[in-house]
Amino acid sequence: DFSGTVKRLSLYIMPQKNRLLAAGLLSIASTVIYVVGPKVMGKATTKLAEGVLAKYAYYMQLYSAIHNNMPLAYINQLRHRPIPSFDFGYIGRILLIMILLYIISALLRYATAYIMASVSQETVFQMRNDVKDKLDRLPLSYFDQRTHGEVLSRVTNDMDNIATTLQQSLTQLLTSLLTVVGILIMMLSISPLMTLIALFTLPASSMFTAVITRYSQRFFLQQQICIGELNGHI
């Protein structure tokens, strides 16, 4: 019951909505910086390529003058001309900007993880209290019909999975989605043709992921049942 589970989980998360909003905004900012980084790095790569091409053009011009027996004065003029070099000052500034961008992105990711950790722990804390209250109200027949391990599995393993989902998976889902959208925009701004070629692989990967997910959910459910039976046996 995915929709019912999400609704019940939302009731627990709602008191933390301000923190979730802050974590979402920080995650968006971090992802935007992370996506823009390669675009900035491309400027340094372009400047390096321009330096290589300038050197190549200079030496080819000198070689052509010597090979075609051009006047010695012209050849000496070429030899005394300043040899094109790389603009290391510009490249250095780009690298400093890159370092600054990635440091800011890392700090934003850390802040997002910190906020989500507090959200998940407080949410799970409330859920554990509700589970405790529910266990106190359950009749003895419930415990007679179930092993201690199955009950403990609900209180420990299932709660830990919820905490992991809120703390890691939810953030990763948002970050991954924003990263895909941001990278797609950057790819289109660089080369629409190359973007279309790369997008041909997405339908196949989506179908493959959907098949794996359908089986993995079934196995995950069986895994949780086995954990409860194992705890009960122990």
What is the identity of the amino acid at 41? M
- How many whole angstroms separate alpha carbon 77 and alpha carbon 70? 11
Integer CA distances (angstroms), 153 to 38, 101, 114, 130, in order: 45, 44, 27, 16
Q: Is the dihedral of CA 132, 137, 140, 143 positive or negative?
A: negative
Q: Which two tokens stand for residue 145?
A: 């019909």
For the cut 80, the answer to whether the pLDDT of residue 79 exceeds it is: no
Span 131-144, mean pLDDT?
Answer: 88
Q: What is the model's pLDDT at position 107? A: 93
For the cut 80, the answer to whether the pLDDT of residue 109 exceeds it is: yes
Share of the chain above pLDDT 90, in %: 3
Q: What is the model's pLDDT at position 14? A: 87
For the cut 80, the answer to whether the pLDDT of residue 181 exceeds it is: yes
More confident residue, 76 or 123: 123
DSSP assigned state of 84: P
Query: What does the mean pLDDT of the chain come to?
Result: 83
Confidence of residue 104 (pLDDT cuts 50, 70, 90): very high
Contacts of 186 (CB under 8 A, 6+ apart): 35, 36, 38, 39
199-217 pLDDT per residue, tens: 777 777 888 888 888 888 8
Q: What is the model's pLDDT at position 168? A: 76
Q: Where are the alpha helices (DSSP H) in 68-169?
A: 72-79, 88-137, 140-145, 148-153, 159-164
Contact yes or no for 130/212 (Cβ under 8 A): no
